[in-house]
């Protein structure tokens, strides 16, 4: 069946998707909180989860909505500041991942993005500052947990 509206759709056609997307960031100190927050998300939630841990062996199974992508970031397999030869500091890997994700996925602004940030002080403060001051998210769209 010929559909003229569908035939005019191309790869360059703008897509206007006004559904909320979620960005969830955590570290190994907040895994129990992370599991609770993920359980509260709608089943149809979409977005990204970044979890920073010390070693790959620290990765655990997480139950997430189908449209959420989980990325585990092991500090022991990452370098610190580029060119410094330092080890990756706590909070650094997840902060870099969030910066890269927001540059790619929120290039037109934050839209209806909601963030949940859990973990240690360095991670929570850096990510919260980035999302509100640099990306332009409203502070009310960024939920942060107590520092560990």
Would you place residue 102 in the very low, low, confident or very high pLDDT band (cuts 50, 70, 90)? very high
For the chain, the structural domain boundaries read: 19-144
For the packed helices 121-129 and 92-105, what is the interaxial angle rounded to 10 degrees?
20
Token digits of residue 66? 């189908």
Per this entry, what is the length of the chain? 148
pLDDT at 77: 85
Percent of the chain with pLDDT over 90: 73
At residue 134, does pLDDT exceed 90?
Answer: yes
Token digits of residue 63? 């139950």
Report the pLDDT averaged over residues 116-136.
96
pLDDT at 6: 42
Mean pLDDT (the chain, rounded): 87
In whole angstroms, how far apart are CA 114 and each of 8, 78, 131, 135, 143? 33, 27, 10, 12, 8
Report the pLDDT averaged over residues 46-51.
98
pLDDT at 8: 46
Write out pLDDT tens, residues 16-36.
Answer: 455 799 999 999 999 999 999
Computed over its alpha carbons, how large is the radius of gyration of the chain?
Answer: 17
Report the pLDDT averaged over residues 72-97.
85
Cα–Cα dist 4/112, whole Å: 31
pLDDT at 75: 93
pLDDT at 87: 86
130 contacts 102 by C-beta, under 8 angstroms: yes
Task: Identify the residue whose tokens are 């959420």.
Answer: 68
Would you place residue 80 in the very low, low, confident or very high pLDDT band (cuts 50, 70, 90)? confident
pLDDT at 67: 96
Please tell me the CATH code under which domain 19-144 is placed. Answer: 3.40.50.80
Cα–Cα dist 73/50, whole Å: 7
């Amino acid at each position: 069946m010929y559909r003229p509206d569908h035939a005019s759709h191309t790869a360059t056609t703008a897509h206007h998707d006004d559904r909320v997307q979620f960005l969830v960031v955590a570290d190994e100190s907040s895994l129990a909180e992370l599991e609770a927050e993920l359980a509260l998300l709608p089943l149809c939630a979409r977005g990204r989860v970044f979890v920073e841990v010390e070693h790959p062996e620290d990765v655990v199974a997480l139950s997430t909505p189908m449209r959420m992508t989980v990325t585990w970031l092991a500090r022991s397999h990452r370098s610190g500041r580029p060119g410094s030869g330092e080890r990756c500091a706590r909070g650094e890997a997840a902060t870099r991942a969030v910066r890269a994700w927001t540059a790619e996925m929120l290039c037109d602004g934050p839209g209806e993005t909601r963030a949940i940030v859990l973990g240690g002080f360095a991670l929570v403060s850096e990510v919260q500052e980035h999302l509100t001051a640099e990306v332009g998210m409203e502070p009310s769209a960024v939920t942060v947990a107590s520092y560990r």
